Amino acid sequence: MSFINYSTKEINCKIVYYGPGLCGKTTNLQYIYNKTAPEAKGKMISLATETERTLFFDFLPLSLGDIRGFKIRFHLYTVPGQVFYNASRKLILKGVDGIVFVADSQEERMDANIESFQNMIDNLKEQGLSLSRIPYVIQYNKRDLPNAAPLQEMRAELNKDSVPDFEAVATKGIGVFDTLRAVSKLVILELKKQR
């Protein structure tokens, strides 16, 4: 959950990138890191295996700027996507303020997307959270691949709640900031609602 400090005038929120293995969660963060001005970002941390698969999480602190005198800071995290890291995924979801679900558009990864989406719902439920109460957006990544499933099909499977969704090619940065902007907006509006 967010942390509001009236003394230092700061608001900190946590956004988690979720999705199946190799869907491009880390790539999203890397692109954001590379394209953000040095003064607006902290160091990106990747706890990864030797083969660059995420082992625990990636972490990227961003400061977005000021709203009404309060500094808005977002902490972006990715979960490890591989199925057997579920214990770690649960930990990263703790205290989440907003979620980006990154789906892999390749036809043959559709089952993995659906499984990961369900896994996210289950892991949230375990903490007494539900997707209906957490701001989230969906990103259909790897749209440039020849074996990408039709958008309509992906929407029908993954976006039953009709949340904001985006087509992306994270390696080239297409759709990456649109996704981040959308989820940030939802998170801030949610804070407003809560108060």
Residue ranges in contact with other proteins by CB under 8 A: 1-8, 11-12, 14, 42-43, 45, 47, 56-57, 59, 61, 64-65, 67-70, 72, 75, 87-88, 90-92, 94-95, 127-129, 177, 181, 184-185, 188-189, 191-192, 194-195
Least distance (Å) between residue 188 CB and other proteins: 5
> Please, which residue, 62 or 169, has the CB nearer to other proteins?
62
Least distance (Å) between residue 4 CB and other proteins: 5
**How would DSSP label each residue in 6-44?**
TTTTEEEEEEEEE-STTSSHHHHHHHHHHHS-GGGB---
> Please, which residue, 65 or 150, has the CB nearer to other proteins?
65
The residues, any chain, with a CB within 8 Å of residue 162's CB and separated by 6 or more, are: none
> Please, which residue, 128 or 146, has the CB nearer to other proteins?
128
Least distance (Å) between residue 151 CB and other proteins: 24
Q: Is 173 helix (H, G, I), strand (E, B) or coil?
A: coil
The Cα–Cα gap between 13 and 188 comes to: 9
Least distance (Å) between residue 22 CB and other proteins: 22
> Please, which residue, 40 or 151, has the CB nearer to other proteins?
40
The Cα–Cα gap between 130 and 147 comes to: 32
Q: Calculate the dihedral angle through the C-alpha atoms of 56, 134, 83, 127, rounding to the nearest 10 degrees.
A: 80
> Please, which residue, 57 or 101, has the CB nearer to other proteins?
57
Token pair belonging to 159: 């976006």
Least distance (Å) between residue 43 CB and other proteins: 5
Measured between its terminal Cα atoms, the distance across the chain in Å is: 13
Please count the other Cβ atoms lying within 10 Å of the Cβ belonging to residue 146: 6
